[in-house]
Structure 1
Amino acid sequence: MSFPDFNGSDAQVQWQRFCDLIWYHDDLGIWLDVSRMHVNTSHLEALQPGFEKAFAAMQDLESGSVANADEQRQVGHYWLRAPQLAPSEPVREHISQEVDRIEQFGKDLIGGRIRTPSGEAFTDVLWIGIGGSGLGPKLMIEALQNSGQGLPFHFFDNVDPNGMSTVLAQLGETLKTTLVVTVSKSGGTPEPHLGMEQARHRLEANGGQWAGQAVAVTMLDSKLDQQAQREGWLDRFDMFDWVGGRTSITSAVGLLPGALIGSDIRSFLAGAAQMDEATRVTDLRRNPAALMAASWFLAGEGKGRRDMVVLPYRDRLEVFSRYLQQLVMESLGKRLDRDGNTVNQGIAVYGNKGSTDQHAYVQQLRDGVDNFFATFIEVLQDAGDIPVIQSERPGDFLDGFLQGTRSALTEGGRQSISISMRRFDARRLGALIGLFERAVGLYGELININAYHQPGVEAGKKAAAAVLDLQSRVEAVLNDGASRSVSEIRQALGDGTDESVFWIMRHLTGNERGYSAVGDWSSPATMRFSKG
């Protein structure tokens, strides 16, 4: 299918396509435009039966069916913004109570009613979380925090010791007045545990009192929850068993940072609930998430053969492409379908923000390999405190760059989706997240994969644990002080490979841990290693 000539004799045809393939929500003030994707009404009619099954599956999920069969778990992130949909009264009450507690905690801490053990007001937040437990909070902070509003945030979202060192140095003496939030659903994930121990060590070394400054976001009765109870931490918030990390932003994972920057978390939840309602419509052409999922499906021939390039034209949404990487790629990137067939599905996501980054890669998008579709996101309302100088308005240029880039891609036969918002605030952020969450769910059903488990992630965790075990045994072999080659170390171990041993030795000798190396690093077989 080819595009009409938008500026020539087919302009009226394109206008009709635009009218047929645009969706608008009057109260939210949000448009979705898929008219520049290779999709038409006949395609949508052909896909309607497949979507009927997808709509039914989503209804079962929201009703409480076990959607994550690997872990025998329900998938209930939609209940977080509409507790009345939860399958039992205790769950409904628990959700509502947690939102109340989070909102009050934020108000009391910002207002100075909750203080450090030494009686000082809290000045900063150190947030410790990995994956969705870091990306969701970062999105909330970048998108919603206004200057001078709430507390400044710092993040441990990796186990990079250099990154930790930088953050701790930035905090310095203010660690004594820093709230430390550790997020770990199971309570046993290595990355947040390591970050927590480093933060605790430095905080106490600087005269802080951990228990009075620490908050846990975890499942009830997890290892972390038990520790927080035992030590009398400042507070604990539930990360429900039925919420996955990549869909946890409307739980305490996203709401607590929202409350600590003084954002309107009720409005955030209301926006997500409004979009949830709009995306339950079973008419494909009247459901924005279904329109988006159908466009993804047709663009990639149902095989994920095109990448998703996310281009939000607002600084506040710079983190959004990274957030979508996890939501989309962890959900859809699966080797097996529900029937056990090898399908190797997925949609790769990348991007940053316009107009800055259109200078970085639009050249290839316009003229290079045609293996993507773009997703433009715009906000119509500009900040009111930026004046007109010499008849120039920055917002006009930003809009011009967006429309110009969109047109340039179309002229090159490249596909794009556009999402436009009259204004941007907590409610629209909630709606935007709800739109993509539902599109991912529907697309997963359309291609017959389970969007709610993550066997590849679990495999990576097991492989990392195996490497750490191998390293401990390598160190034990070298404890006698003898000099050994890579092959000799591997033979002493009785397993592993020469390459895996070489990688471990390169790491050990790169730090001041008492290991030395002799030989030519460019010829690993010549190297000899020892301790002491």
Structure 2
Amino acid sequence: MNWERFKSLYYTNPKLGLSLDISRMPFPDDFLTTMQPKLQQAFADMAALEGGAIANPDENRMVGHYWLRNADLAPTPELKQAITSTLDAIKDFTAKVHKGELTAPGGVKFKEVLVIGIGGSALGPQLVNHALGRLKGGRDKLRVSFFDNTDPDGMDYVLKELGSRLKQTLVIVISKSGGTVETRNGMLEAAAAFKAAGLDYPKHFVAVTGAGSKLEQVAISEGWLARFPMWDWVGGRTSELCAVGLLPAALQGIKIDQMLAGAAAMDEVTRKKSLRDNPAALLALMWYWATDGKGTKDMVVLPYKDRLLLFSRYLQQLVMESLGKELDLQGNVVNQGIAVYGNKGSTDQHAYVQQLREGVNNFFVTFIEVLKDRNDASLEVEPGITTGDYLQGFFLGTRDALSEKNRHSITITVNEVSPRSLGQLIGLYERAVGLYASLVGINAYHQPGVEAGKKAATGVIALRLKIADALKAAGGREFTAETLAALLNQPEKTELVFKLLEHLAANPAGHVKKTVQKPWHESTYAWQE
């Protein structure tokens, strides 16, 4: 590669301990200059956002996740007080748990945490849990597990892992509205497990939710151990640095002040209007160039560090939920978005790098390099060579191998994985997403597609209840999917009726017996007690 180009485009900030290399994105010489007008508008949009402008018109909400790491930026004294008092409450609660002043019934000290949430209420906490657990060879103060789906088998797996330790488990239920079905289901499953074990579950449960939500009402009426706020101006995908992520992280023993400081330091740097001094602006412009401002290529995230394995999953929601929009700000159909996927190095050498190098060229790569291998000296696996040297060798070799085939890449380098550096990465990508959204003229802070999916799921559940009622009323009469759909006056939903019947027949609680016939669509279903 061209050393002169590298020198001219390499961003490095020793104070942050972070560098950004965009030299392997072969944009034309005038690209950064021609994008200046759009970029200055993006800076103005971001300043308005941080100042408290309504950024989510669908719900008439501000978007204030930047205030979480610098409460002085909050537009009102009341919001500043809410942020600081919640952080104090998290620290106080955590200290009491760690000291054994706050215990489970019978004076049993809490040693486990079960987090129940989905989407942003799980992805951020899972990333932090995996990235920062047992740092520097230490032990976590509490071990963290997750219910992050409504999969019964998945919940059984976690509960079996906890086993007899359920009596020393603190449960954090996270839902802003309190009506998120997956989270409610997990809460009910966990409560049932506690009751089956003869445990008083409200004395183990904590809520992170919105004021007046269904979940808060349940927590109050049942006398849960504690409640922490989740504000309507913090979106799920940007909620890691509020109680959603800070509470489980603090209980695990992670230094949350350092995470907040890292994000605040990145915010300060990425407010700069000088492009060459702003890594988030550089990142957003590279996304714009790589995808023609239309999402024409995928973003492949390859962290060369096991601790950052979940970073691509975290970014999937942050990037795709923020940027995947049908309409622009003027109401035009644009179908925007950037698909994100990833693995880790050097695992990816043995997975999909073959296609990245020689297959369809429909992507750009973001490599994440971590300079520090471990805290102690590493074993030499060859004279003068460690396992960490090989890890870097695979990263650099893979990057060159892709460049040889005109496959473009960005490299982000951090000194180490720490609470501060992870906070910086979270802040960097939050800012880049906001800037990119402005560049392409979309709203990054609403998610109508997610709501549409929830409404569709509600309709499926309603049909499932109608099917069960119809079969039960028929008293053992057998139906094909087609005849049952006709009975329900919904022949247009025959395929859906078939899928629901198959699920009911596969589970004892469904009370449906299937009689297999040939051809398969002539199979019949009947109610059985």
Task: Using structure 2 for the length normalisation, give the TM-score.
Answer: 0.96
The answer to whether residue 493 in structure 2 is matched with residue 493 in structure 1 is no
1:394 aligns with 2:387: yes
> What secondary structure sits across from 2:397 in the alignment?
helix
SS at match of 1:179: strand
- One-letter amino acid matched to 1:442: L
Q: Helix, strand or coil for the counterpart of 2:380?
A: coil
Structure 1: runs of 5 or more not aligned: 1-5, 7-13
Measured in 2, the distance between the counterparts of 1:454 and 1:50 equals 24
Counterpart of 1:65 in structure 2: which amino acid?
A
> Which aligned pairs between 1:150-299 and structure 2 lie closer than 5 A?
150-299=141-290
Letter in 1 for 2:95: K
Letter in 2 for 1:491: A
Are the counterparts in 2 of residues 215 and 235 from structure 1 also a CA contact under 8 Å?
A: yes
- Secondary structure of the 1:118 match is helix
Q: How does 1:100-499 map to 2 (within 5 A)?
A: 100-146=88-134, 147-385=138-376, 386-391=378-383, 392-479=385-472, 480=474, 481-495=476-490, 496-499=492-495
Which digits, 9 at most, give the CA deviation of each residue in 1:157-187, with x for residues without a partner? 0111111111111111111110011000100
* 2:500 aligned partner: 504
Q: State the partner residue of 1:54.
A: 42
**Cα deviations across residues 323-379 of structure 1 (Å, max 9, x unaligned)?**
000000000011111111111110000011101122201111111111000000011
Deviations 1:419-443 (A, max 9, x none): 0011221010000010000100011
Matched residue type, 2:254 = S
**8 Å CA contact 1:103, 1:265 repeated in 2:** no
Q: Residue in 2 aligned with 1:515? A: 512
Offset, 1:211:
1.6
SS in 1 for 2:106: coil
Q: Post-superposition, which runs of at least 4 consecutive aligned residues in structure 1 deviate over 4 A?
A: none
8 Å contact 1:486–1:501 — kept in the other structure?
yes
What are the superposed Cα offsets for residues 495-531 of structure 1, whole Å, 9 maximum, x if unpaired?
251111101101111111321122337631x122111
- Pair 1:415–1:518, CA change in 2 (3 A): same
Deviation at 1:261, TM superposition (A): 1.3
Unaligned residue ranges in structure 2 (runs of 5+):
none
Aligned partner letter, 2:380: V
- How far the C-alpha of 1:230 sits from its partner, in A, is 2.0
Q: Is the 8 A contact 1:290 1:439 kept in 2?
A: yes
Helix, strand or coil for the counterpart of 1:484?
coil
The answer on 1:42 being equivalent to 2:30 is yes
- Contact 1:379–1:424, Cα closer than 8 Å, also in 2: yes
TM-score (norm 1): 0.96
Q: How many residues align?
A: 519
Say which is worse superposed, 271-280 or 32-41, in terms of deviation.
32-41
Letter in 2 for 1:31: S
TM-superposed CA distance for 1:41, in Å, is: 4.3
Aligned residue in 2 for 1:94: 82
* CA separation of 1:521 and 1:149: change in aligned 2, threshold 3 A: farther
Cα distance in 2, alignment partners of residues 238 and 195 from structure 1: 20
For 1:521 and 1:360, how far apart are their aligned partners in 2? 41
AA of the residue aligned to 1:425: S
SS in 2 for 1:250: coil
Output the CA distance in 2 between the equivalents of 1:505 and 1:234: 41
What one-letter code is carried by the residue in structure 1 that aligns with 2:106? Answer: S
Equivalent pair of 2:381/2:387 in contact (CA under 8 Å): no
Give the superposition deviation at 1:56: 0.6
Residue pair 2:132, 2:417 contacting (<8 A) in 1 also: no
**AA of the residue aligned to 2:487:** A
The Cα RMSD (Å) is 1.2
